[in-house]
Amino acid sequence: MTDPYAVASASANLLARLTGFDSHDVAVVLGSGWAPAADAIGPPDAVVPLAELGGFPEPTVPGHVPAVRSVRAGRSRALVFLGRSHLYEGHQPAAVVHGVRTAIAAGCRVIVLTNAAGGIRRGFRPGQPVLISDHINLTGQSPVAGPPPPGGYPSRFTDLSQAYSPRLRAIAKAANPSLEEGVYAALVGPHYETPAEIRMLRAAGADLVGMSTALETIAARHLGAEVLGLSLVTNLAAGLGDQPLDHSEVVAAGQQAALRMGTLLAEILPGLA
């Protein structure tokens, strides 16, 4: 991608034509195994394969569906991405954040990023949703690195002091007061962490660990969108449980909690935009 912003704008134009809606207000990116949650959010008015929009690499990870839905959410119109791309698939940061940039080019001012995560904080349990209050980006990459953005776009020196919107978190906690908050550590993967790495992350203040979300958050904040992050704890992090870590079990845990997570998102989305 020589100009990822132009590619995102072109994808947004195609999205408007293929969905029949000129603009959208909020976007949701679903994590591993969460695709069934889309049904709980609401019936789609349009479903578009990502391959038809350009710029989206083909997913290679089980649990991620290469499609986006256009859904009514209260008085807002939402885009629901049924999966995402990851750095560990061999993609560049621009490809990983293309969905977020496309959504913002399509009019979305709120981005909801969900993921499956390992629980580091004592007391976190599989099946528990956790609001992301902040992140630690340990991928060594950034979607705003490289050539400066074209004219008309914000400076690449993006302020992340409020990466995850306090306003949106307050709305989510009002809808579900039982939601806890935590710091998400993003690593490249695809291998899981060692117990020593988890001890390091805990010492650094991380409560959750995963392989996504941070770059998308940076891209969204760069373009001025608010971000709400929501992790589903699908397993205890390495060294904290008795069982070896297995991606198929992570996807299965996401699928088991999908209806509950979709119901939570359906409650939250109408008040976000």
Give the residue numbers marked as catalytic. Answer: 32, 64, 86, 88-89, 116, 211-212, 235, 247
Q: Which two tokens stand for residue 164?
A: 């995850």
d(CA 265, CA 37): 8
d(CA 211, CA 223): 22
Q: Spell 190-214 as b/e; 16+ CB within 10 A means b.
A: eebbeeebbbebbeeebbbbbbbbb
Taking CA 118 as the corner, what is the angle to CA 117 and CA 120, rounded to the nearest 5 degrees?
Answer: 130
The SS3 call for residue 255 is helix
Nearest Cα to 186, choosing from 164, 168, 201, 165?
201
Cα torsion through 90, 94, 97, 99, rounded to 10: -100
d(CA 233, CA 218): 22
Classify residue 51 by its DSSP letter. Answer: G
Nearest Cα to 202, choosing from 123, 100, 84?
123
